[in-house]
Each structure stands twice: as C-alpha cells, then as structure tokens.
Amino acid sequence: MSLVPAKTDFVIVPYGGAMDSRYPLGTPPPENAAGGRIAYKTGTSYGYRDAWAIGFDGGRTIGVWVGRPDGAPVLGLTGRSAAAPILFDAFTRTAERPQMIAHAPAGVLLASNARLPPPLRHFRAAGVAAEPERTLRIMYPPNGAQIEFATTDGKPDPVVLKVTGGVEPLILLVNGVPVATETSRRPLLFTPDGPGFVRVTVMDANGAAESILLRIQ
C-alpha cells in the first residue's frame, strides 16, 4: 500500500526521475559525449565555486560535483562543461543497459519555460536579446589600455573601474584572485602591485563575467 499519491511519487522517488521519458531524448549531451536516454540536470553556484550534474537513466542515479575544497572561485567552471562529461562517462562505465524512464502519471504538470509566468522565466526565446541595461560591462578602462603606475606618498594609487549592468553584489578579481567580494560599490577600485600586465574580471550574482587586460606602466 502506497502512502504517497502517484504523481508525487513520480517526482520524488528514484524510479520517477522527475522527468517524462520524452525529455531525455531532446536534451543535448555535453561535448564529446554520446546522446542517449539519460535525464540530467546541471548547475553552477554563485561565483563559479561549484559545478554539479546529476543524472538518471531509469534505474540508477549518479551525481557529480566539481570544485575546489577551499570554496575558491574558478572562473568559467560550469556544470555543463566540467561535471556533465564526468557524469556521462560514469554512466558509460556501468555495464547494465539504461532502463526505460516511466511516463508521467495523470495529474503531473509538465510546463515548458515559455509557459511559465514572465517573472519565473530564466531563459529567453530564440532571437530575443538580453536587456541592454542588465548586461554586465566594464566601460572603463577599455580592454588593452595602458594605465600609469602613479603613487601618492610612496603608495600606489588605485585604478578605477567603471562597471554598468549586472546583478549585484559583484566580485572583482585581479589575475584570478578576488580583491573585492559581494560588493555593491561602484565604481570598483583595485590597487596594482606594480608595473606589468594584469587581467581584471568582474562577476555578478548570476555568474555573468566580463574581463579586460590592462598594462600598468
């Protein structure tokens, strides 16, 4: 005797997989991986600190996490590029053939992104551009700019970064090292160690990033 309704059981238990059997077939596999009947979902945490992927083939559930043990950000680390290939390799190494994923029972709501209320839509339809005012951009200095290494009372003067768009709080990284985290202050400032090339990256709360290369001289 089951104490859980069939539609709830389908969503929460392993053999349900929380997906109708039609959807894994349309989900593109990660790069260099063979497609198949694997329902999977990827995720990337705030600031590129964690990348994960979890999949279900009808009989087995496998989860993969990729990241640094100290929780430091890794620019460009995403669930699809880092964790998903390992997930598909893990399923490939299992000797058993994938099982059929059960169809959704009556009463389960299957809603695509386009059918959700606008505030809940996280993906745009093809051909729809992002809102210009929300796009993260480093407006100054321009990429490749040469900045004078100025000092005041023997101490280096800070370099000013003018940033527009993005979702606060922001993270500022210089040569991959965070120098300002979870800040809403604009403009952003960083103090160069001395002459040379530096790569400056700004990331927002949604993981969007913009980088420029500067020469301090």
**137 and 93 fall within a common domain:** no
Final residue of a structural domain among 78, 110, 142: 110
Final residue of a structural domain among 76, 110, 144: 110
Tens of pLDDT, residue by residue over 63-104, are 999 999 988 888 889 998 999 999 988 888 875 665 666 666
Q: What is the DSSP letter of 81?
A: I
| Band of residue 16 on the pLDDT scale cut at 50, 70, 90 | very low
Residue 119 covered by a domain:
no
**95 and 152 fall within a common domain:** no
Specify whether the CB–CB gap between 177 and 197 falls below 8 A: no
Tens of pLDDT, residue by residue over 152-193, are 888 889 999 999 988 888 999 999 888 877 777 788 999 998
Overall pTM surpassing 0.75 (yes/no): no
Q: Residue 183 has what pLDDT?
A: 74
Phi, psi of 75 (to 5 degrees): -55, 130
Final residue of a structural domain among 40, 75, 110: 110
DSSP 130-198: PPGGGS-EEEESPTT-EE---EETTEEPPEEEEEESS-SSEEEEETTEEEEEEE--SSEEE---SSEEE
**51 and 105 fall within a common domain:** yes
CA angle 206, 207, 212 (to 5 degrees): 130
Q: Residue 108 has what pLDDT?
A: 67
**Residue 9 vs residue 142, higher pLDDT:** 142
- Kindly give the pairing relationship between strand 146-147 and strand 209-216: parallel
Residue 126 covered by a domain:
no
**Residue 132 vs residue 54, higher pLDDT:** 54
DSSP 4-46: S-HHHHHHHSTTTTTS-TTHHHHSPPPTT----S-EEEEEE-G
Q: Residue 197 has what pLDDT?
A: 94
Kindly provide the b/e burial profile for residues 66-79, where b requires at least 16 CB atoms within 10 angstroms of the residue's own CB: bbeeeeebbeebbb
**Residue 136 vs residue 21, higher pLDDT:** 136
**Residue 182 vs residue 5, higher pLDDT:** 182
- How far is the C-alpha of 38 from the C-alpha of 160, rounded, in Å? 48
Q: What is the mean pLDDT of residues 10-25?
A: 44
| Band of residue 120 on the pLDDT scale cut at 50, 70, 90 | low
Q: Residue 100 has what pLDDT?
A: 62
- Amino acid identity at 148: E
CATH number at residue 171: 2.60.40.10
Residue 155 covered by a domain:
yes
**Beta-ladder partners of 42:** 53
Using alpha carbons, select from 52, 43, 33 the residue that is nearest to residue 91.
33
**61 and 100 fall within a common domain:** yes
Q: Mean of the per-residue pLDDT values for the chain? A: 78
Residue 201's region, left for phi above 0, alpha for psi from -120 to 50, else beta, is beta
**139 and 99 fall within a common domain:** no
Domain of residue 86 covers 6-110
Tens of pLDDT, residue by residue over 19-58, are 434 444 455 677 766 666 678 889 999 888 999 999 888 7
Q: What is the DSSP letter of 118?
A: G
**60 and 145 fall within a common domain:** no
Number of structural domains in the chain: 2
